[in-house]
Amino acid sequence: MTESPLPFALPDLGEAEIEAVTDAIRSGWVSSGPQVKAFEDEFAALCGDGVTAVTVNSATAGLHLALEAIGIGPGDEVLVPTWTFTATAEVVRYLGAEPVLVDVDPRTFNIDLGAAAAAVTPRTRAIMPVHFAGLPVSPSALRDFAVTHGVRVVEDAAHALPAAAEGEMVGSGASDATVFSFYATKTITTGEGGMVVSRNAEVTDRIKVMRLHGISRDAFDRYRSSVPSWQYEVIAPGYKYNLTDPAAAMGRVQLARAREMRDRRAAIAARYDEAFADTDLQLPDHGPEGTLHAWHLYVVRVPQGDDRDGFIRAMSERGIGTSVHFIPLHKHPYWRDRGALTDDQFPQASAEFERVVSLPVFSSMTDAQVERVVEAVTALRSA
């Protein structure tokens, strides 16, 4: 009997999430309400004392609002790694500013801070590092960069819950904002959604206003306050970026399971490390001793000059889904043509892109599914 296809990624959802969403709907709060507030409080507690968390309906919205809150606008430049999803750069354009793409470290795929330093100009206002695959950028190196060059920091932590480096949880540090994603395939999910965290009250206060039309009081606040609900003020031209209570209810259950699900992904990654040690693949970096890797992705590399796409096809023929993270931004027509960008401007990203394959590493994978991946990869790549 033919085995059913194994997808590259699936959300890890159970009866507890279903019940939480159902209860939220039955409560009558189907937009932003008490579940959103509770989710924000619980997420902030995870990040540590002094952190405020603000829900949004996507990480893209969160990145946009974070940049708006720190005053990014026309004429400004923001440093962005070319090795990322387009959302990281496109939000800069939303504000009329210019994303300046820079190369990445070929070991980690995280932003190369040396390349970023070389790209700084008098117009550079911020840097947006991406914690690729769940491996954190060094927080101390990032702080040093920000101080040296006088720039603001917004972290794209879409892959990095929970993750830590140098004893710091991603989201607990001194950056102006850190943005997490709760998309369907992320480390926790609300279907669609995101969270912005910061220790800067000016940033979080601005985001709270701008996520809902620039109104001074959100709906939950208006309907639970003694001040009449119809009384509010529009203080800025905001957006419609709020999260719903059913989504937040799902997120609260997922958040309580975040470490458990991370540990399962780490166990899968360890099994892959062991099984693929004798293949011709280059295995992913784990970071320095003490790093907590979120293992959102498990990215291997075929030898230079090898047929990466042929490997992907062969895995598909065995019923196993894979992906490629990422097609560097400088290779996409919009970014390439807008900046007249070429591969030789990004030698590391351009070379490594030809080699990378992401293997399934989602927390609801069974041991049997993991072994299917192991058997397929070792059959195809044994040295």
Amino acid 300 reads V
Does the active-site annotation cover 186? Answer: yes
- Given a contact cutoff of 8 angstroms between Cβ atoms, the answer to whether 130 and 87 are in contact is no
What would you report as the CA-atom Rg of the chain, rounded to the nearest whole angstrom? Answer: 21
Closest by alpha carbon to 97, among 119, 59, 68? 68
Q: Which of 37, 186, 208, 331 is catalytic?
A: 186
Half-sphere exposure of 22 (CA within 13 A, CB side): 6
Closest by alpha carbon to 174, among 195, 149, 202, 153? 153
Tokens coding 369: 């599914």
DSSP 27-91: HT--SSSHHHHHHHHHHHHHH-TT-EEEEES-HHHHHHHHHHHTT--TT-EEEEESSS-HHHHHH
Residues labelled as active-site residues: 186
